[in-house]
Amino acid sequence: MNQHFSAETQYTPPADAAAPQEDVVRLVDLKRRFGATAALDGVSLTVRKGEILGIIGRSGAGKSTLIRCLNGLERPDSGQVIVEGRDIARLGERELQPLRRRIGMIFQHFNLLSAKTVEDNVALPLKIEGRSKAERLARAAELLDLVGLSEKAKAYPASLSGGQKQRVGIARALAARPALLLSDEATSALDPETTRSILALLRDINRRLDLTILLITHEMEVIRSIADRVAVIDAGRIVEQGPVWSVFADPRSAITKSLLGGIRPQLPEEIAARLSQSAGPEAVLRVDIAGEIARQPLLSDLATTVPGSFRLIHGGIDHVQQQPVASLFLGIPADAGHVKQVLDFLKGRGARAEVVGYVSDND
């Protein structure tokens, strides 16, 4: 099997472009307007070699414009889109074409050619490059084996399930050995079980090939499953970013808290309905902890250190990126001095704690 393409037709990145610890992508103050609307309003972020970065936001947040700027289909009004050391926003179409082949793309609706077989769909980018038929078929066979679809090489897309079609799309995106794989809502059209299998495949490919992946999604569960870092975009701006476990444990922006609402523990509806901001006999605290502190006996230490009672109303602990992340709701007597003591103790131990309201009884 021919593993190497000829130097005459393959784009060669700068010698240090993909060195360890170096950024594969760097966006610098990226701006793009459509009339009065700022689709991107000063976006700056990096994607490091070998990592999976998730970009999450609601519809209209700027995700689609961002990904189009990344693959050269949209020109920013200002700012830089640096891929493997070159600012693609400044390249002409002829210069851009070979660099585009360094960027693979998988789509929500697969975008397979119905009149071509699975192996021909996978080999299509190589046909466009002018590779020989033998080379194309060898590479297609290699990739179909990678995604677990070797037996479907001669099948047509109409005979495949949604998950199989997406696997073909992933194989096609890898055909030209890209440095960066862009995933644009790639699992949104799939059922939960198929979504899990596709995400597991992407993580496996990331690890086996040391492939850099940028995920565009509106689903926090996708971010939680496979991303190393997350950037939250809202109204064309990056409002929060960091390691996934850290952002999940301590979301700072309102949009991040909203997006995490279906994943992080919330007060049961019957208690939330009775919650008041007026002082009552019991204060309800939300306590968020993660990392090393979540491995410690925090509640038993609280009971022995701070006089007075408390009760655990609700909560849970999860593991994100092998780090424990917990959200707990505690009920404590609403005496101001006692509340301050409890908050001071919790914050002193590294927890994020706040009073979310008061309830009139313990039912």
Give pLDDT, residue 362: 53
Q: In angstroms, what CA-CA distances link 304 with 288, 342, 344?
A: 20, 12, 15
Q: Which two tokens stand for residue 155?
A: 């099948």
Q: In angstroms, what CA-CA distances link 41 with 31, 76, 347?
A: 5, 10, 35
**186 with 108: CB under 8 angstroms?**
yes
Give pLDDT, residue 24: 93
Q: How far is it, in rounded angstroms, from Cα 344 to Cα 143?
A: 56
- Triad 261, 106, 49: Cα angle to 5°: 80
* Domains with residue ranges and CATH for the chain: 23-102+178-259 (3.40.50.300), 269-359 (3.30.70.260)
Q: How far is it, in rounded angstroms, from Cα 217 to Cα 10?
A: 31
Which parts of the chain register pLDDT below 50? 1-21, 363
pTM: 0.83
Give pLDDT, residue 177: 93
| Pairing relationship of beta strands 52-56 and 212-217 according to DSSP bridges | parallel
Give pLDDT, residue 55: 96
Helix (H, G, I), strand (E, B) or coil at 107: strand
Query: 182 Cβ partners below 8 Å, 6+ apart?
Result: 67, 70, 71, 103, 104, 105, 106, 213, 214, 216
* Burial grade of 336 (CB within 10 A; 0-12, 13-18, 19 or more): exposed
